[in-house]
Amino acid sequence: MKKQAVDFLFVLNASITNIRLYPPSSAIIQNSLERLEKALNEALAVSSSLEFAESEKTLLINGEPLPEKEQQKPQIRSFLSLMLDSNIKSLTFFPGVTRPEISNFLQLMENFSRQAADAGGLAKMMADQAISHIAIDEKVYVQMDSDHQIVSGLDISDEDFVRYLIGEQSVDQKTIDQVREMAGSPGWFAGVFQAGARYLIEAKPEAAKKDIDSMLTRMIDSLEKVSDSDRQQILGFIAAALPDMDEDVKALLDTGKLRELLDKFQPPPDQSAQETVYRSPAEIGRDALTRILKGDRTPLADTRIIELLPKMVSQIMDKNKDDMLEALTQQMKKSLLYDSPEVRKAVAGIMAEIDEKMEAGQLLEKRIALSKKLVEWIRAEETISAEYQSVTGRLENLAQTILTQGNLAGEADHILEAYALIKDGDLSKEEAIQALAANMLQNLSTDHILEMLLQEPRKTSDSGKDDIYSLVILGSTTIERLLDRLRDSHGMSERNRIVQAISRMGRPAAKPVVDRLGQKGPWYYIRNLTLLLGRVGDQSHLSDLEPMLMYPDYRIQLEAVKSIQAIGGEKGGDMLLKHIPAVDPNLVGYIISVLGALKYRPAVPYLVNLVESRSLWQNKAVQDEIRAKACEVLGRMQAQEAVSALEKIVRTKGFFRGYTETVRSAALKALANIKRG
């Protein structure tokens, strides 16, 4: 913004010069107007208004002074002189300004000095010319000395303001806020003090010395409350300007405790009031911000700077200075991880405040980017603090916002993952932090958020994790609620997402699932519980799956076989072999295949018996399928003890005494596999 404003100022200065030298109809003037209109539109494209103001012979752009190097440029000095000569305190341009308005304004500026007295001032002349998008003295930055008002532009007089400061009158909060905005320069404080002293001289000539001293002291106390400066700074400002105050004001202070106090803050004899070491908070903050942006993080160790930064950040955001905000947060990020614990905590606290301001501005993408820096700090810090709790609160707020958006759940992964690791003890933290993490995740595990997460899969986060990761983390804090939902849900898609989430929770989910297996529910609920135990359980849970092999529903028996296979091991093979006679006959062939996949050799004698027997099952199709599966598994296991039985199958032919071609073919392939071994 500042660059566009300065560019416009240079063109404006040149145009004012040209208007003095050439007639309005000349090509030079028309070209000047075209360039001026273009430069103004570029400046207003990045700001709601463009304001040039003079304060203490310094040019301000939208309330901020230009750097000293810029102030010394001839064009800036020339424009500032024009403002001073014309007694213009501020000049503001608003969107919508037209070229005729600009042309009329330039003409008025050129003729102002000789017309102003008769025309009633430049503001009236502009109104007469219908110049509505350019304003004079819309906002006044007043140089505070004995010849100026101290609260210019406000709805309160200087006398009433002084009476408020000494406790004789009240003012509303709006006025106090307006005063706080203008209370910054040393000269302002000195001007207020002198105005107060003069009021006491004129309005209370009979007051006792001690009462005068008391009222002046009370005024200084009040100045501290209505400004961002502390008491020592204010005393320094007044002491530095005391030699230049009116003689009757100085006489009022000849004796008394206040004079003794002010004398302690007098600058050295060789130092003028302008060179005093006391600076306003705004000046201190601007200097610190410049240093920080240049990579100097030492100001962040200064408690005064830490107190000033939130307000400065707010101003940066209000003025949409995204590049500056990004540069500042990048520098703070370094302090967040590498500087002293005190600095780390202070910077984290500031960044939490930045997040709060971003939330107010509905800047969700920027909040997500900022949160990644804060999460790094959360993961690194090992002791709880007020800042740690504050940052956790902001991250919880952000995660809640993301999770309820409906299409961005994956963007909260980094937050949830960090606190899940802390809660589970995977990151070394003290108990208080672990409890804080557990509470934070519990707070996010609301019915509404779980409802959102149980919907169809949505956008994938930048980390590459789908949004079910959020359901995994939050669901682990309330798995019972998910299991209830699994039981009561009538939607296959929702049930599938719950099964996916619980499966990824791993071993911690096993006990709740086992507890539910003993309860009643729809067949698909029992089947899903059986499936889940196969995914999250281990050898110790095979006994919990065993009853499912005898469940009346074939589909649940099948799921139990699959889960036992998933867990595996010899115990699983024992269990499957043991229950072959009890399961649905249609499932026997599948169990035999599973025994082969498990390479469960204790099953070989039983399988040999199967291929030789002809009367285990009444259904011939089922019997042939089982024999073929048994031959296949014996071949896969390269069971030498099965060779005789397999050869017999291959040799035996005939419709009544032989085997089907399917069984004979399976036996032949099995023999080939055994011989290759």
Same domain, 8 and 94: yes
Same domain, 88 and 163: no
Q: What band does 271 get if pLDDT is binned at 50, 70 and 90? A: very low
Same domain, 20 and 108: yes
Residues in Cβ contact with 663 at an 8 Å cutoff, skipping those fewer than 6 apart:
611, 624, 627, 628, 631, 649
Same domain, 132 and 176: no
Q: What band does 594 get if pLDDT is binned at 50, 70 and 90? A: very high
Domain assignment present for 291? no
Average pLDDT over all residues of the chain: 80
Residue 82 backbone zone (phi > 0: left; psi -120 to 50: alpha; other: beta): alpha
Q: What band does 613 get if pLDDT is binned at 50, 70 and 90? A: confident
Which residue, 160, 256, 281, 164, is CA-closest to 219?
164
Say how many Å lie between the first and final Cα of the chain, rounded: 81
Domain assignment present for 12? yes
Q: What is the reported pLDDT for 514?
A: 92
Which tokens belong to 565? 């296979």
Tell me how many degrees the CA angle 346-351-356 measures, rounded to the nearest 5: 130
Give the phi and the psi of residue 541 in degrees, each rounded to 5.
Answer: -100, 0
Report H helices in 568-642.
570-578, 585-597, 604-612, 620-636
Q: Is the pLDDT at 652 greater than 50, yes or no?
A: yes
Measured CA to CA, the distance from residue 341 to residue 115 in angstroms comes to: 65
Q: What band does 618 get if pLDDT is binned at 50, 70 and 90? A: low
Q: What is the reported pLDDT for 540?
A: 92
Q: Of all residues in the chain, what percent carry a pLDDT higher than 90?
A: 16
Domain assignment present for 20? yes
Q: What band does 272 get if pLDDT is binned at 50, 70 and 90? A: very low
How many other C-beta atoms are found inside a 10 Å radius of the C-beta of residue 611?
Answer: 24
Answer with the one of 254, 279, 304 that is the final residue of a domain. 279
Domain assignment present for 110? yes
Question: What is the mean pLDDT of the segment spanning 5-27?
Answer: 77
Question: What is the mean pLDDT of the segment spanning 156-184?
Answer: 79
Same domain, 125 and 164: no
61-86 pLDDT, tens digit per residue, is 877 777 777 777 777 887 888 887 77
How many other C-beta atoms are found inside a 10 Å radius of the C-beta of residue 314?
Answer: 15
Answer with the one of 251, 279, 307 that is the final residue of a domain. 279
- Of residues 42 and 75, which shows the higher confidence score? 42
Same domain, 173 and 54: no
Q: Is the pLDDT at 220 greater than 80, yes or no?
A: yes
Domain assignment present for 113? yes
Number of domains in the chain: 3
- β-partners of residue 55 are 58
Q: What is the reported pLDDT for 616?
A: 58
Q: Is the pLDDT at 482 greater than 70, yes or no?
A: yes
Same domain, 7 and 119: yes
Q: Give residue 208's domain range.
A: 158-279
Domain assignment present for 642? yes
Same domain, 103 and 179: no
- Of residues 563 and 314, which shows the higher confidence score? 563
Measured CA to CA, the distance from residue 213 to residue 234 in angstroms comes to: 16
Same domain, 121 and 208: no
- Of residues 609 and 470, which shows the higher confidence score? 609
- Of residues 101 and 327, which shows the higher confidence score? 101
Question: What is the mean pLDDT of the segment spanning 31-41?
Answer: 85
Domain assignment present for 667? yes
Same domain, 50 and 131: yes
319-348 pLDDT, tens digit per residue, is 777 777 777 877 777 777 766 788 888 888
Beta carbons of 422 and 473 less than 8 angstroms apart: no
Q: What band does 571 get if pLDDT is binned at 50, 70 and 90? A: very high
pTM of the model: 0.52
Q: What is the reported pLDDT for 185?
A: 62
* Three-state SS sequence of 349-361: HHHHHHHHHHHHC
281-302 pLDDT, tens digit per residue, is 666 777 788 888 777 777 877 7
Q: Is the pLDDT at 26 greater than 80, yes or no?
A: no
Which residue, 93, 167, 103, is CA-closest to 132?
93
Same domain, 108 and 212: no
Q: What is the reported pLDDT for 564?
A: 95
Q: What is the reported pLDDT for 182?
A: 66
Measured CA to CA, the distance from residue 150 to residue 639 in angstroms comes to: 105
Answer with the one of 279, 307, 341 that is the final residue of a domain. 279
Same domain, 29 and 90: yes
Question: What is the mean pLDDT of the segment spanning 226-247?
Answer: 76
Which tokens belong to 168? 């004789």
Q: Is the pLDDT at 278 greater than 50, yes or no?
A: no
Domain assignment present for 649? yes
Which residue, 504, 509, 404, 506, is CA-closest to 455?
404
